[in-house]
Amino acid sequence: MHPMLTIATRAARAAGQTIMRAYTELDRVEVSSKGINDFVTSVDKEAEATITYQIRKSYPDHTIIGEENGENRGDNNDYIWIVDPLDGTNNFVRGIPHFAVSIALQYKGKIEVAVIYDPVREELFSAVRGKGAKLNDFRMRVTNVNDLTSTMIGTGFPFKARQHTETYMAILAEVFPLCADIRRGGSAALDLAYVAAGRLDGFFEIGLKPWDIAAGDLICREAGGTVTDFMGGHNYMVSGNIVAGSPKVTTQLVKTMRPLLNEALKR
């Protein structure tokens, strides 16, 4: 799978160049709404086209699922690339330098290769199944903590699923006193990468999409982390409700959250 990691890296860096060129001229970026509190820019689309081009050059028969263009079906459905060309679009549009390119390769239903690239800091988080996770050329590991005391927990507000606001706020009120502090960065891909790098001890969010999660899921697990849904199961790619962290942190977050969940979040 290493040649595919090379292609994923090349595609992520090429998309990063496209994004950073536009970042210096934000007044020229076209922004449109694709739903309530959900925005897309001309840069998202251009970056996704760049990634698709790089993948298609080497693997013309693979299927590509992108956030902006949906499914680009190839003849080979065993290999599926899951792409978020610009995770953290709202940050990008506002000039906040915290966003990333996320690319994952799924083979027969399992994520095998993952790359998350932060073009602002030129940080490349990557993983190959069974081979560990890296930040640029250095191995990453999640933190080794036994309880939530002194932990830094990442999260994201459910701004696209506001029907869960009350439950989310109840969870936040329960988790916050147990940890040292909470961060809300605005890019789920980078949150998961930061858990893998030991910058965050844990992370939880409601209502994410597969392209938000796919790469960060493998990177986090290959760095020794645990990834579950809110019930401690493995339905997070379907439900979009995710908890990640070092193993004991994930366990304690799930234990804290579970009694507060509404019925929709138990699935």
Predicted confidence (pLDDT) per residue in 28-75, tens digit: 888 877 666 566 778 989 999 999 999 999 999 999 998 877 787 788
Q: Is residue 96 part of a domain?
A: yes
In the annotated binding site for Mg(2+), the residues are: 67, 84, 86-87, 212
Q: Is residue 229 part of a domain?
A: yes
Last residue of a domain, one of 79, 108, 139: 139
Number of structural domains found in the chain: 2
Last residue of a domain, one of 111, 139, 167: 139
Residue 108 has pLDDT above 60, yes or no: yes
| 129 and 7 co-located in one domain | yes
| 100 and 221 co-located in one domain | no
Q: Is residue 22 part of a domain?
A: yes
Return the structure tokens found at 227: 């990834």
Put the strands of the sheet holding 226-228 in their side by side order: 181-183, 152-156, 202-205, 242-245, 226-228
Q: How far apart are the first and last CA of the chain?
A: 33
Query: 47: closest CA among 104, 85, 90, 12?
Result: 85
- Higher-pLDDT residue of 186 and 28 is 186
In the annotated binding site, the residues are: 67, 84, 86-87, 212
Q: Is residue 64 part of a domain?
A: yes
Residue 266 has pLDDT above 90, yes or no: no
163 and 133 Cβ atoms separated by less than 8 Å: no
User: What pLDDT, on the 0 to 100 scale, is given for residue 159?
Assistant: 80
